[in-house]
Homo-oligomer: A and B are copies of this chain.
Amino acid sequence: VGNGSVELEAIGKPMFLARNGRLFVEGEVADCIYRVTTGVLRICKLFPDGRRQVDTFAMEGDFLGIEASQRRGFTAEAVTPVTVVAFPRKDLERLIDNSPGVARRLLGIALAQLSDTHDRLMLLGRKTAEERLSSFLLEMLERTGNGKAIRLSMSRADIADYLGLTIETVSRTFSAMKQDGILALPSAQQVVIQDRGSLEMMSGED
């Protein structure tokens, strides 16, 4: 077909992972890349003193574990029960050299991840707590929402470490938005967006 889909799928191996299970850990040899079939993972880095940064949440259809070096630069943990397809690096390298479609596709995936990560630099470097949470909710709305409601599969701690905030600030910002009628919180995991316009204004995007 040219885009390498058929060749790629042929080398994939399905895998399961329980909640909080680890797909890979920082420092390990990176022998696979993965695509998420179902569930959500957090990709994160840890400080020796316990500080944590969640780089991204990998969700249905997302690729993860593509690395520059031979070793893992971060850890991947299951936020929910997870199913992934694993593509062994060895097979992949062979495909890259034989099928320009696969190389292009991988490059495209890497560049899309690079673009997303750059947006997050702006968020972490220059946005306020309110802007960060607004951006996060809009991102989740886009990725998983039905337009109005979001089911957050990750904890407040995960969100805090994703946004460079504390659990308390995340919680307080949620409460403030609820107070202002921007959203409703039927439960801690369920968010109903009531005023998307305000959320977009508050997200600080141009």
How far apart are the CA atoms of A114 and B73 in the complex, in Å? 11
Residues of chain B contacted by A115 (CB below 8 angstroms): 67-69, 73
| Number of chain A residues whose Cβ lies closer than 8 Å to a Cβ of chain B | 41
Those of A85-143 within 8 Å (CB) of chain B: 96-98, 100, 103-104, 106-108, 110-115, 117-118, 120-122, 124-126
How far apart are the CA atoms of A104 and B163 in the complex, in Å? 33
Minimal Cβ-Cβ distance residue in B for A43 = B118
Picked from B47, B66, B118, the residue with its CB within 8 Å of the CB of A117 is B118
Residues of chain B contacted by A47 (CB below 8 angstroms): 122, 126, 204, 206
Residues of chain B contacted by A118 (CB below 8 angstroms): 45, 55, 73-74, 117
CB <8 Å contact, B68 and A121: no
Say if the beta carbon of A83 comes within 8 Å of chain B.
no
CB <8 Å contact, A126 and B52: yes
CB <8 Å contact, A111 and B68: yes
How far apart are the CA atoms of A117 and B121 in the complex, in Å? 8
How far apart are the CA atoms of A73 and B113 in the complex, in Å? 13
Residues of chain B contacted by A96 (CB below 8 angstroms): 100, 103-104, 107
CB <8 Å contact, A45 and B103: no
Q: Hey, which bits of chain A sit against chain B, CB under 8 A?
A: 45, 47-48, 51-53, 55, 66-69, 73-74, 96-98, 100, 103-104, 106-108, 110-115, 117-118, 120-122, 124-126, 161, 163-164, 204, 206
Besides A97-B100, A121-B121, 19 other CB < 8 A contacts? A48-B206, A51-B126, A55-B118, A67-B115, A68-B108, A68-B114, A96-B103, A100-B103, A103-B103, A106-B107, A110-B110, A110-B111, A113-B114, A114-B117, A117-B121, A124-B164, A125-B161, A125-B163, A125-B164
- A-B contacts, 12 of them at CB < 8 A, read A45-B118, A45-B122, A52-B126, A66-B114, A68-B114, A96-B104, A107-B107, A117-B117, A120-B121, A121-B124, A125-B163, A125-B164
